[in-house]
Chain A
Amino acid sequence: MVAAGLYLKRFYTVVRGEVLVLPSRIIVALFFLVLLGIPLISQNPYLIRVIVLTSIFAILAASWDLLSGFTGQMNFGHALFFGVGAYTSAMLNVHLQIPPWVSVPLGAAAAVLTGLIVGIPCLRLKHTYLALTTMAFPIILMGIVFALPDFTGGELGISGLQRISNSLIVNYYIYVGIMLVLCTIMWKITDSHTGIIFHAIREDELAVRASGINTTRYKLMAFCLSGFFAGIAGGLYAHYMRIAGPSTLEVSMSFMVVIWAVFGGIATIYGPIAAVFILFPLLEFVRFWPEYRMLIFAAVVLLILLYMPEGLIPWVRDKIEKQCPRCKIRNVSTRKTCRICTAVLD
Chain B
Amino acid sequence: MNIIITGLITGSMLALLAISFSLIFGVARIINIAHTAFYMVAGYLIFSLTGKFGLNPVVGMMIAVVVVTFLGLLAYKFLIDPIREHEAAVLIATIALAMIFQEAVMLIYTGDYRTVSALIEGYFIVAGVKVFYQQVLTFGVVLVVLALLWFLLMKTKLGLAIRSTAEDREVANLMGMNDSRLAMITMGISVALAGFTGAVLAPLTVLSPYMWMEPLILMMAVVVLGGLGSIKGSFVAAYILGFTEALVVFMIPKGAFLKGSVALTIMILVLLLRPEGLFGISFEEER
- A: residues with CB less than 8 A from B are 121, 124-126, 128-129, 131-133, 135-137, 139-144, 146-147, 204, 206, 251-252, 255, 258-259, 262-263, 266, 291-292, 294-295, 297-299, 301-302, 305-306, 309-311
B264 touches A139 (CB 8 A): yes
Task: Give the interface size class of chain B.
Answer: 35 or more
B268 touches A121 (CB 8 A): yes
A residues near B287, Cβ cutoff 8 Å: 204, 206
A residues near B257, Cβ cutoff 8 Å: 143, 146-147
Residue B40, interface by CB 8 Å? no
Q: In the complex, how many angstroms separate the beta carbon of B100 from the nearest chain A beta carbon?
A: 5
Q: Give 18 A-B pairs besides A133-B271, A136-B221, A309-B89 with Cβ atoms closer than 8 angstroms.
A: A124-B271, A126-B275, A126-B285, A128-B228, A140-B261, A142-B261, A143-B259, A146-B254, A147-B254, A147-B258, A251-B213, A252-B213, A295-B99, A298-B97, A298-B100, A301-B96, A302-B93, A302-B100
**Bound CA span A306–B80, Å:** 8
A residues near B107, Cβ cutoff 8 Å: 291-292, 295
Main secondary structure of the interface of B (DSSP, over half): helix
B261 touches A143 (CB 8 A): yes
Interface centre among A126, A140, A259 (most CB of B within 10 A): A140
B residues near A146, Cβ cutoff 8 Å: 254, 257-258
Residue B42, interface by CB 8 Å? no
Closest 5 pairs between A and B when the two form their complex, measured CB to CB? A143-B261, A146-B257, A136-B264, A309-B86, A309-B89
Cβ contacts A to B, 9 pairs, < 8 Å:
A129-B276, A139-B217, A140-B264, A140-B265, A143-B261, A204-B287, A252-B213, A292-B103, A295-B99
Residue B158, interface by CB 8 Å? no
A262 touches B228 (CB 8 A): no
B220 touches A135 (CB 8 A): yes
B93 touches A125 (CB 8 A): no
Interface centre among B100, B221, B228 (most CB of A within 10 A): B100
A residues near B272, Cβ cutoff 8 Å: 121, 124
Residue B191, interface by CB 8 Å? no
Residue B85, interface by CB 8 Å? yes
A259 touches B92 (CB 8 A): yes
A301 touches B220 (CB 8 A): no
Residue B224, interface by CB 8 Å? yes
**Bound CA span A50–B265, Å:** 37
Question: Which residues 265-282 of B sit at the A interface, judged by CB distance below 8 A?
Answer: 265, 267-268, 271-272, 275-277
B96 touches A310 (CB 8 A): no
Residue B104, interface by CB 8 Å? yes
Q: In the complex, how many angstroms separate the beta carbon of A294 from the nearest chain B beta carbon?
A: 5
B224 touches A294 (CB 8 A): no
Interface centre among B25, B93, B262 (most CB of A within 10 A): B93
Residue B223, interface by CB 8 Å? yes
**Bound CA span A301–B94, Å:** 11
B95 touches A306 (CB 8 A): no
Residue B83, interface by CB 8 Å? yes
Question: Which residues 201-258 of B sit at the A interface, judged by CB distance below 8 A?
Answer: 213, 216-217, 220-221, 223-224, 228, 254, 257-258
Q: In the complex, how many angstroms separate the beta carbon of B215 from the nearest chain A beta carbon?
A: 12
Question: Which residues 66-115 of B sit at the A interface, judged by CB distance below 8 A?
Answer: 79, 82-83, 85-86, 88-89, 91-93, 95-97, 99-100, 102-104, 106-107
**Bound CA span A114–B97, Å:** 31
B residues near A299, Cβ cutoff 8 Å: 96, 100
* CB nearest to B224 among chain A residues: A132
